[in-house]
Amino acid sequence: MENKILVTRSSMPPFEEYVDEIKDIWESHWMTNMGVKHCELQARLKEYLKVENMDLLVNGHMAIELSLQALGFSEGEVITTPFTFASTTHAIVRNGLKPVFCDIDPVTYTMDVTKLEELITDKTVAILPVHVYGHICNVDEIERIAKKHNLKVVYDAAHAFGETVDGKGVGSFGDVSCFSFHATKVYNTIEGGAVCFKDEQFGKDIYRLKNFGIKNEEVVDGVGANAKMNEFCAAMGICNLKHVDSEIQKRKKVVERYREHLEGVKGIQLAAVQDKVQPNYAYFPAVFDKDVFGKDRDEVFEKLSDNGIGARKYFYPLTNEFDCYKGQFDASNTPIALKISKQVLTLPLYADLDIADVDRICKVILE
């Protein structure tokens, strides 16, 4: 059998570069608690992401979970999408808030803003949309609706690292945008995350929440968690940031090759291409319509798997179908999301994926 192809493979810097970066840590013995690496990475990322304010966190999940806390929400409804990773919905529920699921757009798979307003009630406190696969939400319309109803907007920007809309950093939309720097993302700090925000008070609140609610040595005035990024992760982030542009360029080549093979094939819908958006090529979703293509998603998945190729049913099931939420939500209220989740596969995509492997993957799909 030919080599196995995994769905993703983490970007890592040259070993020597990382070793060089962590030498200072051995000299200072300062391994965590907002040390030198943490501060350096924060400054560099702020510039790279073109945002005004940012704070680093232990992971993307805590970025979302603590953002909702920092905004002061302890009850009410948050309008979100079920077509996402478990984290988005769990972050809402773990705060004692109720997720209200909005359906998705059939082309970008982001929140369908035409269905958003009808879900707003007097209990709604926030909107939590997801830039899923790096497809940017309809940020203008979401902002308009949020302003009109006096709601906060927290974006799950875990998939959208480094993207810009009309030259504007994607992290600058909404009240807060949350990034993930998990090992499997376009840019990683091993585990890590960040919040980008506008309001200074929010910055103070989230900083305290990530550090046990400690104000100073003698005053603890918040019931905080521990969600600090440590120095080893920050050092990895500093190294990976030097290479991220070239990694994204390599991903672009892979995506272009996929498109050469699959664009125009009847019954396969590929990732959306958005005007004015500088993409990061994070994922390459393909949606299979059995009636037209002849094979359904599961058949394609099995065929790829038989050939040693790992694709991922991402996102399936929807979060409103999870066992842990049994009986609480009805996925038939989000019919487009339900349909897409049964038809979608994300194809293998990472910077060092061989073009020859892309050819092989497409051959298996089309055969």
Ligand X SMILES: *Cc1c(COP(=O)(O)O)cnc(C)c1O
Question: What residues make contact with ligand X under the rule CB under 6 A?
Answer: 59-61, 84-85, 87-88, 130, 156, 158-159, 180, 182, 193
Q: Are 296 and 286 in contact (CB under 8 A)?
A: no
Looking at the Cβ atoms of 145 and 178, the one nearer to ligand X is 178
Looking at the Cβ atoms of 65 and 257, the one nearer to ligand X is 65
Tell me the closest approach of the beta carbon of residue 157 to ligand X, in angstroms.
Answer: 9
Distance from C-alpha of 136 to C-alpha of 130, rounded to nearest angstrom: 8
Tell me the closest approach of the beta carbon of residue 57 to ligand X, in angstroms.
Answer: 9
Tell me the closest approach of the beta carbon of residue 182 to ligand X, in angstroms.
Answer: 4
Looking at the Cβ atoms of 133 and 288, the one nearer to ligand X is 133
Distance from C-alpha of 72 to C-alpha of 241, rounded to nearest angstrom: 33
- CA-only gyration radius of the chain, Å: 21
Looking at the Cβ atoms of 42 and 59, the one nearer to ligand X is 59
Distance from C-alpha of 14 to C-alpha of 222, rounded to nearest angstrom: 41
Tell me the closest approach of the beta carbon of residue 85 to ligand X, in angstroms.
Answer: 4
Q: Are 177 and 184 in contact (CB under 8 A)?
A: no
Tell me the closest approach of the beta carbon of residue 130 to ligand X, in angstroms.
Answer: 5
Q: Which residues, listed in sequence order, are joined to residue 180 by a DSSP beta bridge?
A: 193
CA angle 23, 29, 35 (to 5 degrees): 85
Tell me the closest approach of the beta carbon of residue 184 to ligand X, in angstroms.
Answer: 7
Please identify the residue of the shown chain whose CB is closest to the bound ligand X.
Answer: 60
Looking at the Cβ atoms of 60 and 169, the one nearer to ligand X is 60
Tell me the closest approach of the beta carbon of residue 183 to ligand X, in angstroms.
Answer: 9
DSSP secondary structure letters along 325-353: GTTT--GGGSHHHHHHHHHEEEPP--TT-
Task: Tell me which residue of 201, 228, 197 sits closest to 53, measured CA to CA.
Answer: 197
Distance from C-alpha of 318 to C-alpha of 130, rounded to nearest angstrom: 14
Tell me the closest approach of the beta carbon of residue 314 to ligand X, in angstroms.
Answer: 9
Tell me the closest approach of the beta carbon of residue 221 to ligand X, in angstroms.
Answer: 27
Residue 2 backbone zone (phi > 0: left; psi -120 to 50: alpha; other: beta) = beta
Looking at the Cβ atoms of 61 and 152, the one nearer to ligand X is 61
Distance from C-alpha of 38 to C-alpha of 207, rounded to nearest angstrom: 13
Looking at the Cβ atoms of 6 and 355, the one nearer to ligand X is 6
Looking at the Cβ atoms of 67 and 87, the one nearer to ligand X is 87
Looking at the Cβ atoms of 233 and 351, the one nearer to ligand X is 233
Q: Are 250 and 354 in contact (CB under 8 A)?
A: no
Question: Is the sign of the CA dihedral 171, 346, 279, 131 positive or negative?
Answer: negative
Alpha helices in the chain (DSSP H): 15-28, 36-48, 60-70, 86-93, 139-149, 200-209, 231-262, 290-293, 297-306, 335-343, 355-366
